[in-house]
A and B are shown apart, each in its own frame.
Chain A
Amino acid sequence: MDGPIEKMMVYIDGTEQSITAAQYSLCLTRLTGARLIALYVIDTKALEDLVKARIFLKEEQMDYERDLKEDSKRYLNHVRELAQRKGIQIETKSVMGRVHRELVREVKEEKIDLLIIGELSRIKSRRDEFYDETERAMRSVPCSVLIVKDEDRVWDLYESL
């Protein structure tokens, strides 16, 4: 029988919390020998919704999409550097679409058995519960989910690798 964690995915969205999650996932990779994929989702659905709502013009949609693609490159490069610094293999992947749907799709397609995400924002209003795409993904993916907390401790763990 295979080990409990064979293939992990860490979700990167550019927040500090997601970078902490990436550091923790590298620690777990070293410990378990599991394969690791870092995923960034370019939220094109939000862009389309803003055009539909008439908040965005078509030109803005294209402009922001370009920015998001650049963000995705920048953050995934950063995660790759974190891995290289510790001599750990990582695969990076950038996809476009609606965040929670793409996360679920990728988890299924890649046969991921552990999804790792950064600490979620504190719920301050009932609306937040419905709007958080990561939380929706967390509820919908078929695999186990690990939420990484305690940035300082994770940094120490990563540095000690």
Chain B
Amino acid sequence: MAIVELISPEVVKVPLAAGTKEDVLRELVLLLKDAGKITDTDGALDALRKREEMGSTGLESGIAVPHAKTDGVDRLTMAIGVSREGIDYDSLDGKPSRLFFLMLAPPNQTGPHLEALAEIAKLARSKEFCDVLMNASSSEEIVRLFRVD
């Protein structure tokens, strides 16, 4: 499933208010809850925290991909957040993370979950595109960038 099919302005936050790793997870999960995409907010947050405990999903170049399997969602769901200041996310290069792709999937939807994560992995390799996303001024602009690029 293409990322563009998962995102709408309601699940994109620019800029994020969060200043810590815990806060950014909570902010994005609440965004998904408000968009009606999550049935169990605490369950989803717990699943994300457990995954982060195994090892940070903060990559290099300011990108983080928090993800988890959880019964707290009925279908594959995704939120995107952009932090202006950057957040200490225990990233691989030690630099603050600015662009967050948060993904939650029910345990029985491994195929689509994998497909969407693979697409993010490919996106993360395009520094130019990620820079454009990080400098977007609104959630609508982020969604538009996915549609035209």
Contacts and interface: CB of A to CB of B under 8 A. Distances in A.
Interface stretch (A88-96, A110-118, A123-131, A150-158): A123-131
Contacts of A67: 107, 110
A interface bracket (residues with beta carbon within 8 Å of B): 20 to 34
Interface stretch (B25-33, B40-48, B117-125): B117-125
A67 B107 CA distance: 8
Nearest to A121: B2
Nearest to B124: A53
26 contacts: A43-B111, A43-B115, A43-B118, A46-B114, A49-B118, A50-B121, A53-B59, A54-B92, A55-B59, A59-B54, A64-B113, A64-B114, A67-B107, A71-B110, A121-B2, A124-B4, A124-B147, A125-B146, A125-B148, A127-B2, A127-B4, A127-B119, A127-B123, A127-B149, A131-B119, A131-B122
A57 interface: yes
Contact of A54 (B59, B146, B149): B59
Given A46-B115, A67-B110, A125 B4 contact: yes
Contacts of B67: 55
A68 B31 CA distance: 29
B114 A50 contact: yes
B83 interface: no
B35 interface: no
Given A54-B59, A67-B107, A124 B2 contact: yes
A49 B54 CA distance: 19
Interface in B100-133: 107-108, 110-111, 113-115, 117-125
Contact of A46 (B55, B107, B118): B118
Contacts of B4: 124-125, 127-128
B65 interface: yes
A27 interface: no
A13 B121 CA distance: 21
B5 A55 contact: no
Interface in A42-85: 43, 46-47, 49-50, 53-57, 59-60, 64, 67-68, 71
A60 B114 CA distance: 11
A125 B2 contact: yes
B119 A49 contact: no
A98 to B, nearest CB: 11
B120 A55 contact: yes
B53 to A, nearest CB: 11
